[in-house]
Amino acid sequence: MITLHASPDLEVSLGNRKGLSMKVHQAEPPFKKIKTSYLLLRPEDEFLHVRLGEKLRANNSYTITISFRGKLGTDRGFYKYHYRVNGTLRHLLLTFFEPTYARRAFPCFDEPGYKAIFSVTIVRPKGYTALSTMPVKKEEERPHGLVAVTFHDTMPMSTYTLAFAILNFTAQTKGNITIWSLEERTPYLQYALDVAPMLVKFYEDLLGTPYPLPKIDMISLPSFLADAMENWGLLTFHEQCLLYDRRTTPFKKPLIVGLVAHEIAHQVWNAGASYGILK
């Protein structure tokens, strides 16, 4: 038996019904296929049980391949985020996986004590930007005005710290740090962009080790579930926590520094941290 986490909103199947399938193979030669008897998705505890037709061998590696369908959420998991520009309704796609909402996006071992290397490919429309934990590795054009964006593999990490987004925001960059926001907000995010590299340097000097990720993207959102979320390499913020105008909000400087420092600290310490099973 293999037990994963999966939301009832995900549609999975053993066969090729509507293009859905699940296969288990040995990860090394001869890549033997392991028979699967049935699937059981328990909505009450969000467990996906995979009954195998034979026993797995100790000290062997196996690959589980799952084709599935899911629904975009409204505020957690992988969801559609709505906002307005000059009265026009627009949207972007975003993730919020803490503490156990990655299972709404894909079947997984959704506990922080389990670490995995994630290989992410996102298919986006032209004119939009795809972001994830790691930098872009390559882009390939697809039919119907789509682009497949493949990111570099992550280091081993917990599912709740993974993130991805598809958006049409304006970017400001300083070194390896980029802030994404509505265009009219860009003048008021310069202070946050200035202090972020200094905070990274502070932690590197304090700990005597380089920052563990190759980049930081920071998304400034008109509204958000929290002040911020410490997704690895892709921080998300409520814009009111980052916006600064020296004429009207001079008091916000220490608040901005404190919050950005807090989220960057999560990036540094989470790289070496492990947590157990969530109760």
| Amino acid identity, position 4 | L
Chunked into runs of 10 residues, the chain (279 residues) has average pLDDT values of 91 74 88 88 92 89 92 94 93 96 96 94 98 98 98 96 98 98 97 98 93 96 94 97 93 96 88 52
Note whether residue 277 is domain-resident.
no
Which of 98, 111, 239, 263 is an active site residue? Answer: 263
Assess whether 245 and 141 both reside in one domain: yes
CATH number of 108's domain: 3.30.2010.30
Binding residues for Zn(2+): 262, 266
Domain-terminating residue out of 67, 86, 113: 67
**Paired sense of beta strands 216-221 and 177-181, if any:** parallel
Compute, in degrees rounded to 10, the torsion defined by CA atoms 154, 148, 97, 91. 140
Binding annotation: 262, 266
β-bridge partners, 80:
93
The answer to whether residue 261 sits within a structural domain is yes
Rounded to whole angstroms, the Cα distance separating 84 from 170 reads 15
211 close to 203: Cβ distance less than 8 angstroms: yes
Can you tell me which residue has the tokens 């054009």? Answer: 141
The number of distinct structural domains making up the chain is: 2
Q: Which residues span the domain enclosing 93?
A: 77-270
Give catalytic status of residue 54 as yes or no: no
Q: Are residues 141 and 198 in the same domain?
A: yes
What helix, strand, coil percent values describe the chain, rounded to 5?
20, 35, 40
Over residues 162-216, the pLDDT tens digits come to: 999 999 999 999 999 999 999 999 999 999 999 999 999 999 999 998 999 999 9
- Which residue, of 67, 98, 114, is where some domain finishes? 67
Separation between Cα atoms, residue 147 and residue 219, nearest integer Å: 21
Distance (Å, whole) CA 117 – CA 162: 10
Model pLDDT, residue 37: 84
Instruction: Look at residues 35, 67, 99 and tell me which one is the last residue of a structural domain.
Output: 67
